Amino acid sequence: MAHVVLSFDDNRLASALFGQFDEHLALLEQRLGVDARARGNKVELRGEAAACEQARRSMDYLYERLQRGHEVQPSDVEGAIRMAIAQDDQLVLPTLEKKGRMSLAQISTRKKTIHARTPTQDQYMRAMERSELVFGVGPAGTGKTYLAVAHAAMLLERGQVDRIVLSRPAVEAGERLGFLPGDMKEKVDPYLRPLYDALYDMIPAEKVERALAAGAIEIAPLAFMRGRTLANAAVILDEAQNTTSMQMKMFLTRLGENARMVVTGDPSQVDLPPGQTSGLVEALRVLDGVKSIVTVRFEAKDVVRHPLVAAIVEAYESDATHQRAPFSRGGQA
């Protein structure tokens, strides 16, 4: 049993680190099985040596965040704990420095700074930084689209691209939007709303509106991409599992000079008609091994929404595995 005492110089920051009514320390206790007790600006940790070390690294990292002027929420504590555990699991990540210190990837815009909360998010954020074409695939709630939009907003603010182009296939309406009321924008906006939401979270609303009016930000259904070359742009295709093979090939070949492209989707949530191949599934197979294309695969453990979301995803994955099992045994039930 180990006993570790941590001391933090700034009492105000120490209070923010511990959380209201020490809720952040309670998270450490629940996730790592340690006993964490605050005494003024100090914390006493008792438990298994490995768990106490993980708690120490998590708190040191979060305190440094506070020193840089960032807030610390319970979700940030969860993320720090995940990364500390991953470091001990010796995952092959470019993000984990030696000597017991954690260095997590981040995306900074004028409105907010986002830090990786899982090892896969860290890998994804760094892949977008260095690669021209990135596929982010996996279940809902893992941050695939949100982080891609955040990265695009950062590139636009830095002047590294001239515009952002966000697209989704409107498969839920079968690409036949005529029966919906309003003009074309009003017809397709419901399917593009998640992209708008992410944008407004990264960029002040008035700047988003000006950029949309000026064409510096474009949000459009996939059908509008045909015949274009997208240069000097950050381009994102969301819900890519609902593209056909032809649509995916069309989209990928829009990539122009000085452009960055991110394709996100969940191959397990295809809404195409039965028997039709998902363009995302096909692209992952065809492009496997192509140099300069990076594929980052998220899993249920990477879900960063409510903990129940991760449990729901895992339950569905387990059920799907059991449903396939009889067929893998020669059809015997």
pLDDT of 115 reads 86
CA 204 vs. chain centroid, Å, equals: 21
Is 52 a residue whose pLDDT tops 50?
yes
pLDDT of 235 reads 95
The β-bridge partners of 46 are: 3, 35
The whole-number average pLDDT for the span 60-83 is: 88
Indicate the number of domains in the chain. 2
Residue 254 sits in a domain whose CATH number is: 3.40.50.300
Per-residue pLDDT tens over the stretch 182-238: 555 565 566 677 788 888 888 888 998 999 899 899 988 888 888 888 899 999 999
Which one of 28, 62, 90 terminates a domain?
A: 90
> 204 and 269, same structural domain?
yes
Cα separation, 215 vs 248, whole angstroms: 24
Instruction: State the helix-helix crossing angle for 23-32 and 11-18, rounded to 10 degrees.
Output: 50
Residue 38: enclosing H or E segment and its boundaries? Answer: strand 35-39
> 141 and 59, same structural domain?
no
Phi, psi of 125 (to 5 degrees): -65, -40
Lowest mean pLDDT among 15-19, 216-220, 281-285: 216-220
Cα separation, 289 vs 292, whole angstroms: 9
> 272 and 161, same structural domain?
yes
Pairing of strands 217-221, 163-168: parallel
Task: Give the contacts of 291 (CB within 8 A, at least 6 positions apart).
Answer: none
For every residue of 246-268, DSSP letters joined together read: HHHHHHHTTB-TT-EEEEEE-TT
> 303 and 277, same structural domain?
yes
> 228 and 196, same structural domain?
yes
The confidence band for 94, taking pLDDT boundaries of 50, 70 and 90, is very low
> 214 and 176, same structural domain?
yes
> 111 and 83, same structural domain?
no
For every residue of 103-142, DSSP letters joined together read: ---EEE-SS-EEE--SHHHHHHHHHHHH-SEEEEE--TTS
> 119 and 67, same structural domain?
no
